[in-house]
Amino acid sequence: MGKEYARRITIFGIVPFAAPIIFHEDFENTLQWTKTGGEGDSIFELDPSISKNGKQSLHLKTRTTGAAVGDTIGAKRFMYLHPSKHYNLISHFYSTDLTQADHIIFDLAFYDGATVHQATIRLRPRIPDIQYRNSLNIYTTIPNSELSLNNLSWHQAIFNVNFDLKKYISLTIDHTLLDISLLPYSSDSSTIDAHLETHIQIKGATGFPTEIYLDDITLHEI
């Protein structure tokens, strides 16, 4: 008798035609992200107990021993620059209790050797609202962003930014499209070597640890 084989495939959904994918991270292989923040017995590890599609996700959890308001932990990935400066970041995240989180940050930073161009979105589930960091480096609430995110559910954030125009383009949380079109982002002088960074971070709001699981993260050019 012939043997049966199963092969896992990934469906990206709506991706602009001919848009080169810079990376797709399903956390099934070698971990290519570095830890930011996270003190003491914080957790930064691949976890097989929860995943969106595959066999594991990246689990981030602030410290339990000595937990304090304002504790943070994040994951960052570095990449070489690409010809395009128009990017779409698709991220999936899951939390057991979002009431413990002050905010979740999604950040794209473009270093050109002289300037860092930084586009940052901040979700505040306890309020709830969503903010963007403007050209004055001030977080400003996006109109009509009072979205309630459920615990124990996977959520999707699609973040579109154009570093050529020096503007945000769009933000979609789950099925809700928020208008941030042509809002200016933050920039500052920096002599760090040219590269591109993706950074996702969670910050605690209470004296208890806060956690997030990340899976199926895609960055592609437009």
CATH number of the domain enclosing 66 = 2.60.120.200
Residue 23 lies in a domain: no
Model's pTM, two decimal places? 0.91
8-state DSSP, 53: S
For the stretch 120-165, pLDDT in tens is 999 999 999 999 999 999 999 999 999 999 999 999 999 999 999 9
For the stretch 77-123, pLDDT in tens is 999 988 889 999 999 999 999 999 999 999 999 999 999 999 999 99
Predicted local distance difference test score (pLDDT) of residue 17: 45
Give the domain extent around 118.
31-221
3-state SS assignment for residue 147: coil
Predicted local distance difference test score (pLDDT) of residue 112: 94
Residue 202 lies in a domain: yes
CA–CA gap between residue 109 and residue 198 (Å, rounded): 7
CA–CA gap between residue 75 and residue 36 (Å, rounded): 6
CA–CA gap between residue 187 and residue 153 (Å, rounded): 34
Residue 103 lies in a domain: yes
CA–CA gap between residue 57 and residue 212 (Å, rounded): 10
HSE of 183, CA atoms in CB hemisphere, 13 A = 28
Residue 125 lies in a domain: yes
Predicted local distance difference test score (pLDDT) of residue 8: 55
Q: How many domains does the chain have?
A: 1
Residue 24 lies in a domain: no
CA–CA gap between residue 55 and residue 133 (Å, rounded): 35
CA–CA gap between residue 25 and residue 131 (Å, rounded): 25
> Residue 79 CA to chain centroid, in angstroms?
15
Residue 203 lies in a domain: yes
Q: Is the pLDDT of residue 208 over 50?
A: yes
Residue 12 lies in a domain: no
Looking at every residue in the chain, the average pLDDT score rounds to 92
Q: Is the pLDDT of residue 172 over 60?
A: yes
Average pLDDT for 167-187: 94
Residue 19 lies in a domain: no
